[in-house]
Chains A and B, each alone.
Chain A
């Protein structure tokens, strides 16, 4: 066990410890003598009490001290990074991959390539902060340094948030209750207000509105995706966001990206959607398991974006009209002009 705790905390009174961390109160339950010190309380427990708490005495002491330590701010700091650097490995034939890419907070990078070319592998390498120990042989540096093994594993879960098409909400709660619960995990000052902000933001991204009282599992695909993106942007601690093909989600893609950039995250998204690809500052082109090229989005390409978005809007309108029972005997311009 990690015995790195101040014994001074053993002299804390139970009510003080309970105030420090609500988890402490939940764990020990109601206590008749809140002014006992933690040490005295532990000494007073008999085997029946320990059985009820499902701990041995030694384990319980270590556990409670860890909860107190956390509340005192020794753990769970918000993770910030200055740079994410990706160093090349090898392609599927073993040939060297020519890659040295340094990304800073606020960067949006798309990852493009045929199905099976290795887009998910690249996202996977970033997720586990690969150090030449994945099939690609890539290495990931954080703030210019190789994270030492202990830090690498402690950090990997905290550095990277992921969003993908396969992800769903499975918990049986209302949107409001759940987002508030997430806000509480982050120990934000006002969880209720934070939840309201996330929901308002998600409603801007989604076509159809939902409320805090809506059940999570009843959300449509588009609403779920919108809520996930708003939540990652506003509540997730992770400074890196990996997005795996969410183009068909029925959400306002441009707003979603703007939101993530505003939250100062590094965003990598694998995509087949030309609009998303061109919205990125850079796009990584992948073929046969390796990065072929990193292309800066040019001004000309960005100018084309306006045209692409125009056509995209027309397609959306058609889609909406059909959904509402319209007939399509004549195609509107410009589609009609092509026939």
Chain B
């Protein structure tokens, strides 16, 4: 079983990319299963069902979406194995730019879009920096120059990644992504494997339901901005 993590900021076209890719994989005779991680709600599972792709949807609800992901991903792998899938794509939405769901030894894909501006690649953290493949969407509506600058900035942020231009409307780029996925490592279980980057250290009062603002309510692992140093 090959496991692929697909992560990216909201609305970059992760689901469109996976749907187009699914068509290419199906033509190659590969059986795909998808797990969609989201925060509060998702309708994307319906899109996958409509294409007859086995899908599990996980909503983090009140739990940090990254922690929810890592606590459940191995169960998802077992499920995908049980239904006889050749590969499992874990689509993560709702991650902050500080985080990354990428696991050592599993193919890591980050999706970003050209519309987000040429400075975005350096603002996205480990999700992009630690990906094996970076797919750049929405290139059909921006200038060639911006595409080149954007791709260059992605490369600066992650010089080791394969950069793939992907058109979510036509599916152009799906063949290339499928090529990279054929090379993804085979995995029996994720048990004992490590995240490529640790999740934020936390456990403060707000993690466990505190809603009130003020020094008296801040306990545990709290980091304060120091004035006037932060103005420098």
A contact residues around B175 at 8 Å (CB): 128, 133-134
CB of A231 within 8 A of CB of B149, answer no
Contact between chains at A124 and B170 (CB < 8 Å): yes
Contact string, B137-169, partner A, CB cutoff 8 A, digits 1/0? 000111111101101100010111011110000
How far, in Å, is A68 (CB) from chain B's closest CB? Answer: 10
- B interface footprint on A134-158 (CB within 8 Å = 1, 0 otherwise): 1000000000000001000110110
**0/1 interface trace, chain A 157-178, chain B, CB 8 Å (1 if under):** 1000111101111111100001
Whether the pair A170, B144 counts as a contact (CB closer than 8 A) is: no
Name which residue of chain B comes closest to A231, CB basis: B145
Q: Bound complex: CA of A59 vs CA of B159, how far in Å?
A: 11
Q: Is the CB of B149 within 8 A of A66?
A: no
| B149 partner residues in chain A, CB cutoff 8 A | 171, 178, 181-182, 185
In the complex, what residues of B have CB within 8 A of residue A169's CB? 142-143, 145-146
- Contact with B146, one of A54, A166, A170 (Cβ below 8 angstroms): A170
**Complex Cα spacing A185 to B155, Å:** 10
For B164, the chain A residues whose CB sits under 8 A away are 153, 157
Contact bitstring A221-237, B, C-beta under 8 A = 1, else 0: 00010011001100111
List the A residue with the shortest CB-CB distance to B156.
A23
| Cβ–Cβ < 8 Å partners of A173 in chain B | 118
Bound together, the chains give a CA A181 to CA B164 distance in angstroms of 21
Quote the shortest CB–CB distance from A78 to chain B (angstroms). 13
Interface code B113-132, partner A: CB below 8 Å = 1, 0 otherwise? 01101100010011001100
Q: B197 touching A168 by the CB < 8 A rule? A: no
Chain B residues near A227 (CB, 8 Å)? Answer: 143
Q: Which residues of A from 170 to 195 have beta carbons under 8 Å from B?
A: 170-173, 178-179, 181-182, 185
CB-CB under 8 A from B98, the residues of chain A are 54
The residue in B144, B151, B152, B173 that gathers the most chain A C-beta atoms within 10 A of its C-beta is B144
A134 to B27, alpha carbons, bound, how many Å? 11
Could you count the A-B residue pairs with CB atoms below 8 Å apart for me: how many are there? 111
Residue of A nearest to B28 (CB): A133
Q: Tell me if A1 counts as interface (CB < 8 A to partner B).
A: yes
> Which residue of B is nearest A154, CB measured?
B162
Of A23, A67, A171, A228, the contact of B144 (CB 8 Å cutoff): A228
B172: Cβ under 8 A from any A Cβ? yes
Q: Which of A2, A63, A236 contacts B158 (CB 8 A)?
A: A63
A67 cross-chain contacts in B, Cβ below 8 A:
156, 159
Chain B neighbourhood of A166, CB < 8 A: 140-141
A157 close to B172 (CB less than 8 A)? no
Question: Which of these, A23, A75, A182, contacts B148 with CB under 8 Å?
Answer: A182
Residues of B within 8 A of A172 (CB): 117
With contacts A56-B196, A153-B162 taken as known, whether A128 is within 8 angstroms of B172 at the C-beta atoms is yes
Q: Does B176 contact A (CB under 8 A)?
A: yes
Least CB distance from A137 to B in Å reads 13
CB-based contact B129/A164 at 8 Å: no
Q: Does B160 contact A171, Cβ atoms closer than 8 Å?
A: no
Is A311 in the interface zone, CB < 8 Å from B?
A: no
Known: A55-B126, A168-B143. A127 touches B148 (CB 8 A): no
- CB pair B176–A168 under 8 Å, yes or no, is no
B172 and A127 within 8 A (CB): yes
> CA A157 – CA B98 in complex, angstroms?
29
Which residue of B is nearest A55, CB measured? Answer: B129
Query: What's the nearest-Cβ distance from chain A to residue B195, in Å?
Result: 10
Within 8 A of B (CB), among A3-43: 23, 26
Output the least CB separation between B217 and chain A (Å). 25
In the complex the two chains form, is B142's CB within 8 Å of A63's CB? no
B159 touches which of A63, A161, A178 (Cβ 8 Å): A63
Tell me, rounded to whole Å, the shortest Cβ–Cβ distance linking B121 to chain A.
Answer: 11
Query: A170, B172: Cβ atoms under 8 Å?
Result: no
Counting CB contacts under 8 A, is A315 at the interface?
A: no
- Beyond A149-B179, A153-B164, is A236–B146 a contact (Cβ under 8 Å)? no
Cα(A173)–Cα(B142), bound, Å: 14
Binding site for A on B (CB under 8 A): 98, 114-115, 117-118, 122, 125-126, 129-130, 140-146, 148-149, 151-152, 156, 158-160, 162-165, 170, 172-173, 175-176, 179-180, 196-197
**Closest 4 interchain pairs by CB?**
A66-B159, A185-B152, A54-B125, A153-B176
Chain A interface residues toward B at CB < 8 A? 1-2, 23, 26, 54-56, 59, 62-63, 66-67, 70, 75, 124, 127-128, 133-134, 149, 153-154, 156-157, 161-164, 166-173, 178-179, 181-182, 185, 224, 227-228, 231-232, 235-237
18 residue pairs from A and B, CB less than 8 Å apart: A54-B129, A63-B159, A63-B160, A70-B159, A128-B173, A153-B176, A167-B141, A168-B141, A169-B143, A171-B117, A171-B118, A171-B146, A172-B117, A173-B118, A178-B145, A181-B149, A231-B144, A232-B145
